[in-house]
């Protein structure tokens, strides 16, 4: 059993953090959906979410734009066709946990606030 399946530590964000998230476009609706958890928008859980329900309520983000772009090329229907760069800021109740593989983060926050941290959106090259 992987460590994150039995225990991981959630922290309130205390310093700025840049992470990347897949999305389906640049418009407000696409960005709001991208920063909403699978639970919040009624999408089916990722298999990992079945090991720890709290992950179903988080948004997966990555420390590397290249990682999320590669995932988007493989699974555009699930990940999206664009990569949003997010500069998360402390003081807004955002929580983070280092979960999953190297560079994978689970992020919890209010979608209306998280969307404000999007600083750029780039289309994934084929």
- Specify the pLDDT at position 4: 57
Q: Which of 2, 16, 40 is nearest to 91 (CA)?
A: 16
Q: Model pTM?
A: 0.91
Provide the residue range defining the domain that includes 92. 3-123
Which pLDDT score, from 0 to 100, does residue 1 have?
Answer: 38
HSE (side-chain half, CA atoms, 13 Å) at 83: 22
* Total domains in the fold of the chain: 1
Q: What mean pLDDT do residues 62-85 have?
A: 95
List own/partner pairs for 41-48 with CB under 8 A and 24 or more apart: 48/4, 48/5, 48/100
The tens digit of pLDDT for each residue in 8-44 reads: 899 999 999 999 999 999 999 999 999 999 999 898 8
Strand partners, 23: 82
Which of 50 and 95 is assigned the larger pLDDT?
Answer: 95
The pLDDT of residue 101 is 80
Collect all residues with Cβ–Cβ distance below 8 Å to 96 and sequence separation of at least 6: 10, 11, 13, 17, 88, 105, 106, 107, 108
């Amino acid at each position: 059993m992987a460590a994150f399946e039995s225990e991981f530590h959630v922290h309130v964000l205390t310093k700025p953090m840049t992470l990347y998230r897949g999305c389906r476009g640049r418009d407000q609706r696409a960005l709001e959906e991208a920063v909403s958890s699978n639970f919040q928008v009624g999408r089916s859980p990722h298999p990992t979410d079945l090991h720890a329900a709290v992950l179903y309520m988080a948004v997966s983000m990555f420390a590397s734009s290249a990682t999320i772009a590669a995932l988007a090329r493989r699974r555009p229907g699930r990940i999206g066709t664009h990569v949003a760069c997010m500069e998360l800021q402390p003081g807004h109740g955002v929580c983070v946990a280092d979960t999953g593989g190297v560079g994978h983060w689970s992020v919890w926050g209010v979608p209306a606030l998280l969307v404000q941290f999007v600083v750029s959106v780039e289309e994934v090259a084929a």
